[in-house]
Every structure is written in C-alpha cells, then in structure tokens.
C-alpha cells in the first residue's frame, strides 16, 4: 500500500499511525491500540475484517475502503465501538467513525509566529457567532488582525457528547465536532485565518477524557489510580505506550493535517507521568518534528515552570497576575483567590517576572469568567484597568472573546450530555461547587444543560474600545524592559517602557497613557 504523505509516521513514532488512513490504491490501513482484546476486527460495509496483532497491544490491517466509508472496531467478536483515534464522527460520539482523506484539504501556509510579537485571541466556536460554526468565525478575522491580534486560539474542537459544550470533555479528540462543521469546516477556518495573516492555536486536553467514555475503556487500560483522580476524572496512564500515542499523535495531527500553528495544552499540572521521559516533553519534540515552528504552550495555573525548564515548551499560561489584579479590582477572596492579596507590591512582583514573552497573561479568559457561578465578566471600568496592565506588560497578552469591546453577555458553563445520569449529575453538581462562595445562592446558578444557558453566552460584537486598539498598536514598538513604581497607600501603579508611561489608579478606576 502506498500511503498518502499525511499518513507518514514520524521517525520516533514506535507504533505506526493510529486510526484509519486511506491510500491511493482503493484501500485503507487501520491501526488501533487494544491491549485488552484477544481479537480485533473492523466492520466495513457490513463485512468484518480481522486485524493482525503487533507489539505492545497494537493491531493493524489493510482492507478495501475509501474516504467517506463508515467503520467500527469489533473487540473479541462482540462489542462494536468507534475508533478512539477517529478523524471524523459525523453522527456524534455514538455513531460510527468515517474515513477521512485530509490530503484534499487546501490550507494556505500560516504566518511565522514570533513569541515576542504574539497577541492571542481566545474564542469558543459555538458562542463566537450566531451560526456557532467554524464558518461563522471567518467574517470577523480581518477586524481581529487589524486590531493587532496575531493568532486566534480555539477552545477544544474535538467531538464531545451533544451539540454544545466548552469542549474539555471531548471523547473523540481527533475528530472536529460535527456541530461546528466537522473536519472540512475546521480546514476552511484555518485556511481563512492564514489568508487573513493570522495564526491558529488549538486548545488540546491530555489530562483526562470526558465522561461517557466506555468505548475507550473497552480497548485498553487508558486510566490509572496511581496518582488519584484529577479534578475532572480519572488520570490517564502515560506509562502505557498506546495512551502516549493516543495523545502525541493527536497533537501531531493538528499541526500536520490541519496546518495549525501551535497548541495550548490544558491544565498540564494534572498530566501525571512517572515515565523517565515525560509525555509532554516527548510531545513537544514530535510536534516540532511534524511542523517546525509550531508553538507548544502549556496552561499552568501555579508557579511550576517545568513546561519551560524541563519539557521544552515555548510558553505557558500563568494566572497569578490575573488573580492579583482581580482582588485589587473586586475585593473578592473566595476559592483560589485566598492565596493572593491584591496589593500593589504583589502586582509589581508579578509584572517583573523574568520569563517575559514566555508567560501568557490575561485580564479575562474562559476559566476566569466561565468558572464563576454566573459566568459574569468584569464591569467595563475595572476591565479597562486590567487590560491596561496586561497589554502594556512585557508578557504575551491573551484576550478572551468580546473583551476588546467590553462584551456584557456572560460566558456561562454549558453542557449537552446525552447520558441522563451524567446530565443530572452535572446539573446537580454545579450549584454545590459554589456553596461556600459568598454572594452566590445555589438557586441562581444557571442550569448547564439548559439551551438558554448556552444562548445567553453568545456574543454581540461591537467596535473595539479605543484604549484596547491603542495599547495593542503601541506594544509593537515598546522595548522589553519594564519599570514599575507603586504607591501602596494611594493604590496607584506607574509603568514605564521606553518613553511610554502608563498610570493606573485603582481607587478612582482611571487609566492614563502617555506615548
């Protein structure tokens, strides 16, 4: 079989490419990790074809098939399941997998993303436009580029249960969600972004798999109790080669087949691995081998710099500047804010960290808005203060969708679980999360399963705030060096970068910019 170029497995990929790979000869190669199975077959067009066992629990075979054919894997002659590495789930998480030929994608090469010029715009495909699709993002790309954005960052797009959700509970993480427009829709969006001069970053999740994951469990021991549970479910067992390949080949797929320009890896503190070579270090090496120049960015909510120090990642999220600013602006001290004090000295400390553009900072992001009980955003005056610090800082700034014009619609936690038990558990658990938070009555917490919770979170785009536009234009010209002067009693901060001066007064909620 002569595989298409996209199906080439990197040199250090020990298993062969997972999933279903069509060739030019009217056949396709199927490969799956199924350590728990004694026999594995693929169901194609009403016929079953037995796969041959390889090393370490991998199974493979080549059979007549074409792009567009539906298939399932059959384990031990009984249960039929979609492909854990499916590239297309047109009928959702309980439908068959479908053979995809990404060699037909026409995606313009993206711009070179320089870290010291990176300005990231985080968006959720379902709420960004009225259409809620990949195509719905395209009409606003030019205005984002003109504002000074250099890359959009998509919240996770892998197939998850139902039609709506944040995406972090994905099950078929290599298959762009059909509700968003599926694989072709994502390819069109990446192409349009590149044509507009924007890079595309993709949020990926390797710390857990969403609930309703019985299909994956049937194939092999994906999970382990060696580390206890993550906040979202069982930990993945990256000591198993098949689990490592499931994650790493997913990362390679986005940069190779969809020409995505970088990845943002969710909550890496919860990616546990006691292997000699941490899975996220191996992932970074192989992503760069698949697409030299692709960025690997980690979300690390605490002062843990392993992504930069040990794993070779380009940058990492760090929330501590956000938390200090939020306390100074709102006085809130519930939950994780209790570890911060919001003093001018603490803000100055965060602003003078030495990592520079390797730290991604924000005034708001999906977590800091959506994980509030009501999903409410900062009021406009307070938001402008936070934005001024973030955009003027020497760090990599991230804007959350709508903040450029002061969006007032909330971004609430919404789901569409199709399993009634999981749906009820999510609905009942959400109010309990905020039982100890001041000012939040359980009855006021929106029902995550309700359609109106999702609809309420849609944007109503407006022209960008002039201060936002001015600061984003200005930062391109500023030297990296930052001087910080504070007055703790007056609650004021003055920042200087070259000849530019930013003065912020917390008590009067004013921002002055001299440049």
**Residues tagged active-site:** 266, 299
Are 261 and 294 a contacting pair, CB within 8 Å?
yes
Provide the CB-side half-sphere exposure for 28 (13 A, CA): 22
Are 140 and 173 a contacting pair, CB within 8 Å?
no
Structure tokens at 384: 């402008």
Count other Cβ atoms within 10 Å, centred on residue 320. Answer: 19
Measured distance CA(513)–CA(470) in Å, rounded: 9
Of 344, 315, 373, the C-alpha closest to 485 is: 344
Per DSSP, the three-state class of 53 is: strand
Measured distance CA(434)–CA(436) in Å, rounded: 5
Measured distance CA(15)–CA(245) in Å, rounded: 8
Measured distance CA(89)–CA(143) in Å, rounded: 32
Are 15 and 56 a contacting pair, CB within 8 Å?
yes
Containing H/E element for 22?
A: strand 19-22
Name every residue whose Cβ is closer than 8 Å to that of residue 32 and which is 6 or more positions away in sequence.
Answer: 18, 19, 40, 51, 58, 59, 60, 73, 83, 84, 85, 219
Measured distance CA(401)–CA(365) in Å, rounded: 8
Are 72 and 40 a contacting pair, CB within 8 Å?
no
Containing H/E element for 495?
A: strand 492-497
Angle in degrees, CA 405, 409, 411, rounded to 5: 105
Provide the CB-side half-sphere exposure for 112 (13 A, CA): 4
Name every residue whose Cβ is closer than 8 Å to that of residue 20 and which is 6 or more positions away in sequence.
Answer: 28, 29, 30, 65, 71, 83, 86, 87, 97, 99, 100
Structure tokens at 211: 């609930």
Chain mean position to CA 82: 23
């Amino acid at each position: 079989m002569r595989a298409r170029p996209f199906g080439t497995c990197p040199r250090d990929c020990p298993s062969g490419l997972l999933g279903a790979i069509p060739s030019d000869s009217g056949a396709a190669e199927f490969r799956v990790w199924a350590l728990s199975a004694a026999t594995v077959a693929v169901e194609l067009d009403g016929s079953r074809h037995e796969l041959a066992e390889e090393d370490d629990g991998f199974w493979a075979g080549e059979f007549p098939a074409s792009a567009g054919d539906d298939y399932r894997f059959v384990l031990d002659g009984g249960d039929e399941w979609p492909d854990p590495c499916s590239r297309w789930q047109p009928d959702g998480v309980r439908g068959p997998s479908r053979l995809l030929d990404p060699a037909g994608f026409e995606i313009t090469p993206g711009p070179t993303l320089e870290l010291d010029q990176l300005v990231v715009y985080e968006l959720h495909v379902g709420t960004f436009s009225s259409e809620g699709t990949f195509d719905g993002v395209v009409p606003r790309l030019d205005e984002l580029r003109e504002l000074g954005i250099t890359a959009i960052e998509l919240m996770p797009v892998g197939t998850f249960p139902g039609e709506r959700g944040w995406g972090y509970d994905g099950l078929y993480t290599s298959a762009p969600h059909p509700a968003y427009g599926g694989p072709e829709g994502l390819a069109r969006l990446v192409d349009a972004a590149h044509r507009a001069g924007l890079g595309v970053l993709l949020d990926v999740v390797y710390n857990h798999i969403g609930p309703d994951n019985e299909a994956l469990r049937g194939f092999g021991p994906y999970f382990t109790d060696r580390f206890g549970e993550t906040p979202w479910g069982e930990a993945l067992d990256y000591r198993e080669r098949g689990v490592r390949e499931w994650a790493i080949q997913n990362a390679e797929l986005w940069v190779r087949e969809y020409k995505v320009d970088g990845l943002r890896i969710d909550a890496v503190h919860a990616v546990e691995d006691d292997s000699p070579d941490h899975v996220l270090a191996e992932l970074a090496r192989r992503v760069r081998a698949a697409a030299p120049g692709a960025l690997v960015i980690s979300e690390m909510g605490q002062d843990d710099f392993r992504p930069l120090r040990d794993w070779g990642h380009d940058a990492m999220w760090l929330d501590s500047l956000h938390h200090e600013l939020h306390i100074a602006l709102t006085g809130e001290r519930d939950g994780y804010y209790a570890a911060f004090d919001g003093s001018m000295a603490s803000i100055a400390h965060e602003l003078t960290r030495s990592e520079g553009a390797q730290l991604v900072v924000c005034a708001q992001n999906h977590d800091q808005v959506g994980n509030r009980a009501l999903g409410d955003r900062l009021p406009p005056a307070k938001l402008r203060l936070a934005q001024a610090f973030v955009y003027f800082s020497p760090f990599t700034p991230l804007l959350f969708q709508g903040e450029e014009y002061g969006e007032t619609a909330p971004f609430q936690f919404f789901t569409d679980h199709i399993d009634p038990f999981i749906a009820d558990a999510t609905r009942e658990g959400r109010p309990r999360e905020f039982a100890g938070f001041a000012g939040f009555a359980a009855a006021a917490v929106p029902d995550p399963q309700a359609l109106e919770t999702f609809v309420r979170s849609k944007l109503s785009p407006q022209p960008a705030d002039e201060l936002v536009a001015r600061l984003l234009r200005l930062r391109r010209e500023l030297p990296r060096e930052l001087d910080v002067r504070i007055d703790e009693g007056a609650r004021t901060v003055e920042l200087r970068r070259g000849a530019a001066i930013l003065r912020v007064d917390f008590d009067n909620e004013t921002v002055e910019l001299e440049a």
